Chains A and B, each alone.
Chain A
Amino acid sequence: MSEFAVELRDVSKVFGDIVAVDHVSMGIRHNEFFALLGPSGCGKTTSLRIIAGFERPTSGEVYIDNKPMGNTPPFQRNVNTVFQSYALFPHMTVEQNISFGLEMKGVSKAEIARRVGEVLELVRLPHMAKRYPRQMSGGQQQRVALARALVNRPKVLLLDEPLGALDAKLRKEMQIELKTLQREVGITFIFVTHDQEEALSMSDRIAVFSKGKVLQIGTPLEIYERPTSRFVADFIGETNFLTGRVTQVDGEFAQITTNGGATFRGRAMPGVRAGIEATLSVRPEKVQLVEQPDDSVNCYEVVVRSIAYVGSDTRVVVMLGENCIDVWEQNTISTLDPNYFFKPGERAWLTFKPENALVLAE
């Protein structure tokens, strides 16, 4: 058995003169919860459709269970899809929808009845078998779509923004439910989303897409804490960017002098060499504001521009020369004293540890 349940080798897809998927290679491991994350139009859905067999790659090859798929039509692939719109057959009951796949495989009636009952139990809709999709809520429809795919016991389940149509609260619930379900059934899930929080909280690994290319593949921790490109750092979470020139690289760290003349130290990411233009990325929650300067390296005087109290933390925007920098300070103390917080126009010192900042090569 190969390491990967699904593997894309140098897959491209061109529609007319639009390159939707641009030389994508990635391997999705067995029983992995794998997210394809990116803004709309980045090629993640097309990649999923190529795996499902709805689109044929212009070049490259998809391997499912180590077998090249070639021209294998969707109905001969051992994968199932949960569609963004759910694509439940409106003229069939829940039961008929779910048994459709088994019927196609020629499973016996008794076996179908048993497995449909089981899977309805699994998605907690046992009493809904005779309903039509239009008689159900969005969340229930979503579960039927899930059940309809899972009942076939596919090698891989493909999910195309399955939670996109749900409201925020239901979405949160379903995220947890999906994750639990995936552990229970032990099937590889490939999950397309544009919601970074969703991807971070649910996935074992994430592939970040932009403009048809995969920019980075890694665990949520790696993607958030060690983005290798400016796009990934920007797309996942919030961050501050300061551009400048790399003046020195020593071991793990690099020194960058910004256009405003300030010099910072941060982790040198791949491709960083002395003399190149680079970007310093530091997340707002990793920056501190202090009233007195300390002797650390990344310490500069700033002016507070605005302040927003959002409950769990206080979001301060400070000016370092011409640059705005976001600073999120966690409200670890309960107080009603307004003087406890910084005020616009006040001076302060900004500081962060070099290991909490990244110097990115672009």
Chain B
Amino acid sequence: MAKILRVLREQPGIRLAGLMAPGAFWLSVFFLVPLLIMAWISFLSRDPLGFPTPPLTLQNYWEIIRDIRFAPSISLADGLAIRLFEGLYLELFWRSIWLSLLSTVITLLIAFPVALFMARLPPRYRNLALFLVMIPFWTNFLVRTYALQFMLRSNGPINTLLRALGLEPIELLFTPTAVMLGLVYGNLPFMILPLYTSLEKFDWTMIEAAHDLGADTLRAFQRVMLPLISPGLLAGSILTFVPAIGAYITVELMGGGRTNMIGYAIAQQFSASVNWPFGSAMSLLMMIIVTFAAVLYFRSGRGEYRNAI
């Protein structure tokens, strides 16, 4: 024992290697390598069964941008969609980004007042409110989305109630709006919690100081509060945007697969209609989008993930 300790003491390199090795191995072999293989497969052709096979090709990426047409349009019917392009897959990407951004903004607009209210509660009630956010935060996402879907089904409680009141039942599911509702519902706790963490730490005398120096409420918010709570704001936005753009459960349960999004489309390439190379290409593109969002996040604030969790 003493001998081992002496060697470790005198060789910090060995010490470091010992500490790093398991994690480095796991992360490399079971995270990085799979991603690299996926990237490689995205440049392969597909065999008749949909599995990857040589030769190398750009066909999968070409597929995505093939029938691109620039055709801006706004449609309120189709779930508040603003379109820029036509073309099957590009439209899919665009819709995913758009729905994710929109759901993030809506989630933020709901979560901010809630977090603000919670942060200003007296400590006893604050802990209770925090507890009430923590439960959905930690509850299985699938179970929660299922609960929402159950509520909104054509023969679910809401429509049963409507029928009992002598009203016409309405189709609440399987629309882009339903997907949006599902995203907001699912991600609200992930927005409220980091926002609350930032707001709770916020020193309100700073707002008084800003007023004292002549700033009105709006400017005090803009110049003093916003910069100080931006870490929580950014953490919450990332925690909302990333699951939204990769959404699978919500798209299936709330949208019935009719409002397609990238995450769902990717999953389909690996289950229903097998096309691994094409699915890999879409995954890689989605990763690039998300990494871009993440870089934005790391640039504008320090990594406050730890506070968010």
Contact = CB atoms under 8 A, between A and B. Distances in A.
Interface of A: 71, 73
A71 B10 CA distance: 9
Contacts of A73: 9
Contacts of B10: 71
Interface string B1-37: 0000000011000000000000000000000000000
Nearest to A73: B9
Nearest to B10: A71
Contacts of A71: 9-10
A73 B9 CA distance: 9
A324 B9 CA distance: 57
Nearest to B9: A73
Interface of B: 9-10
Contacts, number: 3
B3 to A, nearest CB: 14
A356 to B, nearest CB: 52
A73 B10 CA distance: 10
A132 B9 CA distance: 32
A78 B10 CA distance: 21
A52 to B, nearest CB: 15
A71 B6 CA distance: 10
A144 to B, nearest CB: 29
3 contacts: A71-B9, A71-B10, A73-B9
* CB-based closest 3 A-B pairs: A73-B9, A71-B10, A71-B9
A103 B46 CA distance: 69
A71 B9 CA distance: 10
A71 B11 CA distance: 12
A71 B7 CA distance: 12
Nearest to B5: A73
A57 to B, nearest CB: 15
A191 to B, nearest CB: 28
A167 to B, nearest CB: 25
A114 B10 CA distance: 37
A352 B293 CA distance: 74
A110 B154 CA distance: 78
A304 B293 CA distance: 68
B271 to A, nearest CB: 51
Contacts of B9: 71, 73
B130 to A, nearest CB: 25
A77 to B, nearest CB: 14
B104 to A, nearest CB: 41
B1 to A, nearest CB: 14
A297 to B, nearest CB: 59
A15 to B, nearest CB: 15
B154 to A, nearest CB: 58
A72 to B, nearest CB: 11
A61 B10 CA distance: 17
A68 B98 CA distance: 71
A287 B9 CA distance: 58
B308 to A, nearest CB: 27
B179 to A, nearest CB: 50
A69 B9 CA distance: 15
A10 B112 CA distance: 62
Nearest to A71: B10
